[in-house]
Amino acid sequence: MSTATTSNLTEEFHERRTPLQRLQGVLHKYPYLSPLIVLVVAVVIFYLLNDRFLLPQNISFVTQQTVVVGTLAIAQTLIILTAGIDLSIGAATTLAQMAMANLAVYTTASNVLPIAGQNPYVAIFIGILVGVLTGVINGFLIVRLSLPPFIVTLGTLSVFTALTLILFKARTIQKPEMPEVMQWLGNTFQIGEFQLLYGVVMMLILYAIFGYILKNTAWGLHVYAVGDDPNAAELSGISTKRVIFSVYVVAGLIVGIAAWLTIGRVGSASPNPDPLLNLDTITAVVIGGTSLFGGRGTILGTLIGALIITVVQNGLSLAGLDQAYRVLAIGILVIIAVATDQWIRKVKA
Partner 1 sequence: MSATTTVTPVVQGVNLVKTFGRVVALDGADLELYPGEVLAVVGDNGAGKSSLIKCFSGAHIPDSGEMLINGKKVEFKSTSEARRHGVETVFQTLAVAPALDIASNLYLGREERKPGVMGAVFRTLDKKRMRADSAQHLKDLGISTLQNITQAVETLSGGQRQAVAVARAVAFGSQVIILDEPTAALGVNESARVLKMIQDLRDRGLSVILISHNMPQVFEVADRIHVARLGKRAGVVTPKSHSMNDVVAIMTGAMKVTAEEQQLTPVN
Q: Which residues lie near partner 1 (CB under 8 A)?
A: 8-10, 12, 25, 28-29, 213, 216-219, 221-222, 224-225, 228-229, 231-239, 295-296, 345, 347-349
Interatomic CA distance for residues 80 and 281, integer angstroms? 11
Q: How far is the CB of 293 from partner 1 (least distance, A)?
A: 10
Q: Where are the alpha helices (DSSP H) in 1-88?
A: 11-15, 19-29, 33-49, 56-81
CB of 296 to partner 1, least distance (A): 5
Closest to 340 measured CA to CA, from 117, 48, 23, 109: 23
Cα gap 115→236, rounded to integer Å: 46
Largest alpha-carbon pair distance within the chain?
79
Closest approach, Cβ 239 to partner 1, in A, equals: 8
| DSSP characters over 7-27 | TTS-HHHHHT--HHHHHHHHH
Which residue, 332 or 347, is less far from partner 1 as judged by CB? 347
Q: What is the rounded CA–CA span in Å between residue 24 and residue 341? A: 10
CB of 22 to partner 1, least distance (A): 13
Nearer to partner 1 by Cβ, of 191 and 349: the residue is 349
Nearer to partner 1, 176 or 237 (CB): 237
- Give yes or no for a contact between 292 and 80, defined as CB atoms under 8 angstroms apart: yes
Q: How far is the CB of 141 from partner 1 (least distance, A)?
A: 24
Nearer to partner 1, 57 or 217 (CB): 217
Q: Comparing C-alpha atoms, which of 272, 279, 259 is closest to residue 71?
A: 259
The smaller minimum CB distance to partner 1, of residues 12 and 180, is found at 12
